[in-house]
Structure 1
Amino acid sequence: MGRLSNTWSLAKVSWSVLKKDRELLWMPVLSFLASAVVIVVVIGLTFVTLSTESTHDQTTMEFNPAMIVVYVLAAMVLGVIAVFFNGALVAGAHERLTGGDPTVRSAIGRAFARIGGLVPWAIITTTVGLVLQALRDRAGWLGRIVTHMLEMAWEVVTFLTVPAIVIDNVGAIEGLKRSASLLRNTWGENIAARVGFGLLGFVLIIPAAVVAGLFIASGWTVLMAIGIIAAAAWVAVVMVVLTALNAVFQTALYLYATTGMPPTGFEQAPLEQTFVHK
C-alpha cells in the first residue's frame, strides 16, 4: 500500500504542475494525430499492393520485400513521432519546473532544437523494439518471458534518456549513458512508481469498461454505440493525461537525480522515496 500511496502522491503533484500548463496536453494529441496519418498511409499502401498483386499467390503477397521495407520505415517514423512529442512534453515540463511559463510553441520549438539527439534516439529505441518483437514472435513461452524481461529492463535503463537529451542538450548515446549511469549510481522505487502509474491508468479505465459493458448488455443498438464511443473517448482522455503526467514525472525525477534538489512544485513530493541515492 505504501508504494501505491507514493505513486498516488506523485501523480497528484504531477497533475498540480500540469494544471498550470494544460496546453501541454496537446502534445499526446498531436502525437496521436501524426501517428494516425502514418498508419492510414501504410494501410493505403498495403491495400494498393494487395490489389495490384491479386493475381499472385498468397505467399508472394505476405512476403513482399517492398512492403516489409515500408513497415520498417513506418515503425521508424512512428518512433520518431513518439519520441519527438515526448521530448516536447519534457521541454514544456522543464520550463515550468524551472520557473517558466511554457506554451505549445515553446515546447515544440525546444524539441526541434534537440532534433539532432531525439531522432537518433528514436531510431535506436525503435530498432531495439523491433528486434525484441521479432525474437518474441519466434520464441517459445520461455523465450517470450525472457524478451518481456529484456524489454522491461530496456525501458527502465532508458527511462531518463529523453530528459537528458532535452535538458542537457546531449546526443542519443550520451543521453543513454547518463540514464544508465543514474540508474547504476542510484536505487529506489522508480520502477515501482512506473508500475504504479500503469496501475493508476488501469484503475481509471475500469469505469469506461463498466459503462461500455452495461450499454452493450442493454441490447439496444443506439445505446451500444453510445457506450462504445463514450468508453473510447474516456480511454483516450486517460491515455493523454497519463502520458503528460509521465513526462512531468520523468522531468522532475531527472532534475532531482542530477541536482539532488526537488524542482519547483515538487518540494513536498516523495521524490526521495522514489529515487534514493546510495
Structure 2
Amino acid sequence: MNGFFRGWNIAKASLGVLRAQPKLMVLPICSGIAMLAIIALTVPLLAVFTDQSEAENVNDTIVYLTFFGAYIACYFAMLFFNAALIFCAIRYFETGATTLGEGLAAAGRRALPILIWALIAGTIGLILRVIGETLTRLARKEFGAVVAFVVKLLTAGLYGLWLAASYFTLPVLVVEGVGPINAVRRSTQLIKAHWGDVLGGQSMLGLLTFLAILLPGVAVGGVVYLLQDAAQAYLGVLIGVGIAYIGIVMLVSSVLGMIFLAGVYLFTSTGKAPEAFGDDLVRAALKTA
C-alpha cells in the first residue's frame, strides 16, 4: 500500500476520532476567542499610537511593533490550542480516551518553545509574503502581467516549501520535547520520507470540505432559482445561514486537519498503527516493524 492511500486511511481514522470526541472542537473555538481578545485589545492601542504619530511625530516604529506583537500573540494562541488538540488526538489514537485538560496541560508545559516557534514561523511567513507581494508588484510594473504571474507562482512555491518543511514541527515540539530548530529539522526529515502520506490524507480532507460546501450550495442555489420571487423574501436569511454553515464546515475542517496531523505524525515518526487506522494500515506497519 503506497503512502497516498495510507494517508487516506489515516484521514478516515481522523473522522472517527472527531465523531468519538466532538469536544475537541472546543479547542479551536478557544483559539478564536483568544485571538479576538488580542485584536480587541490591540485595535485601541493602534488607534492611539496612530493619532499620536500624526499629531506629535511619534515614531511609526511603535505602531509597527504593536501590530507585529499582536500578530505574534495571535499566532501563539493558534499554535497553543492546536498543540493541545494534537496531543489529545495522539492520546486518543494510542489509548482510546483523552481529555481537554491533558491536552492543555501538555501545551502549557511546552508554552515557551511554542512561543519561540510562533515568533520564528510568524516572522519567516510574514517576510516571505512581503517579498512575494513586493516582487510581484515590481514585476507587474516593469514587465507586465505575465511575468508578474510567473513571479507570484515562484514566490508562492517558495512559501509552500517552507510550510511543507515545517509541517510536523508542532507535534514534534509537543511530543518529543526538543527546541524549535531541532523540531524543524525533524519535521523536514519526516516530510521528505512520508510526503505521500500527507498528500493522500490532505487531498481526502480537502475533497470532503469542498463537497460539504459545494453540494448544499448547489441545492440551495437550485431552490432559489426555481422559486425566484418567493425565495427573494428569504434571501437575507439564506445568506446568514449559509455564512454560518460555511463557518461550521471550516471549523470542522480545521479540527480534522489537526487530528490528521497527529495521526500521520504518530505513524510516520514511530511506525505505530493503532486499530483506529484500519486493518490494512495495521498490517502494513507490522510488516515493516
Q: Note if 1:191 corresponds to 2:206.
A: no
CA 1:221 to 1:34, structure 2 compared with 1: closer, same or farther past 3 Å? farther
Where does residue 87 of structure 2 map in the other structure?
91
Distance 2:23 2:109 in 1: 20
CA 1:138 to 1:212, structure 2 compared with 1: closer, same or farther past 3 Å? farther
CA 1:239 to 1:176, structure 2 compared with 1: closer, same or farther past 3 Å? same
Q: Note if 1:146 corresponds to 2:154.
A: yes
**How far did residue 127 of structure 1 move?**
0.9
Q: 81-90 or 261-270: which moved more?
A: 261-270
**How far did residue 196 of structure 1 move?**
3.8
Calculate percent identity across the aligned residue pairs: 25
**How far did residue 80 of structure 1 move?**
0.4
Structure 2 unpaired stretches of 5+: 137-147
Distance 1:197 1:144 in 2: 26
**How far did residue 194 of structure 1 move?**
2.1
TM-score, length-normalised on structure 2?
0.80
Once the two structures are superposed, the pairs formed by residues 224-235 of structure 1 within 5 Å of their partners are 224-235=235-246
Structure 1 unpaired stretches of 5+: none
Out of 239, 249, 253, the position equivalent to 1:238 is 249
CA 1:178 to 1:207, structure 2 compared with 1: closer, same or farther past 3 Å? same
**How far did residue 200 of structure 1 move?**
2.7
Where does residue 213 of structure 2 map in the other structure?
205
Where does residue 70 of structure 2 map in the other structure?
74
Indicate if the aligned counterparts of 2:8 and 2:200 stay in contact, CA closer than 8 A.
no
Given residue 72 of structure 1, which amino acid in structure 2 is its aligned partner? Answer: F
Where does residue 24 of structure 1 map in the other structure?
24
Structure whose residues are more often helix by fraction: 2
Distance 2:122 2:282 in 1: 30
Given residue 152 of structure 1, which amino acid in structure 2 is its aligned partner? Answer: G
Where does residue 166 of structure 2 map in the other structure?
158
Once the two structures are superposed, the pairs formed by residues 57-72 of structure 1 within 5 Å of their partners are 64-72=60-68
Distance 1:8 1:88 in 2: 24
Kindly name which structure, 1 or 2, has the bigger radius of gyration based on alpha carbons: 2
**How far did residue 90 of structure 1 move?**
0.6
Where does residue 105 of structure 1 map in the other structure?
101
TM-score, length-normalised on structure 1?
0.82
CA 1:212 to 1:135, structure 2 compared with 1: closer, same or farther past 3 Å? farther
Given residue 64 of structure 2, which amino acid in structure 1 is its aligned partner? Answer: I
Distance 1:215 1:38 in 2: 40
Indicate if the aligned counterparts of 2:4 and 2:198 stay in contact, CA closer than 8 A.
no
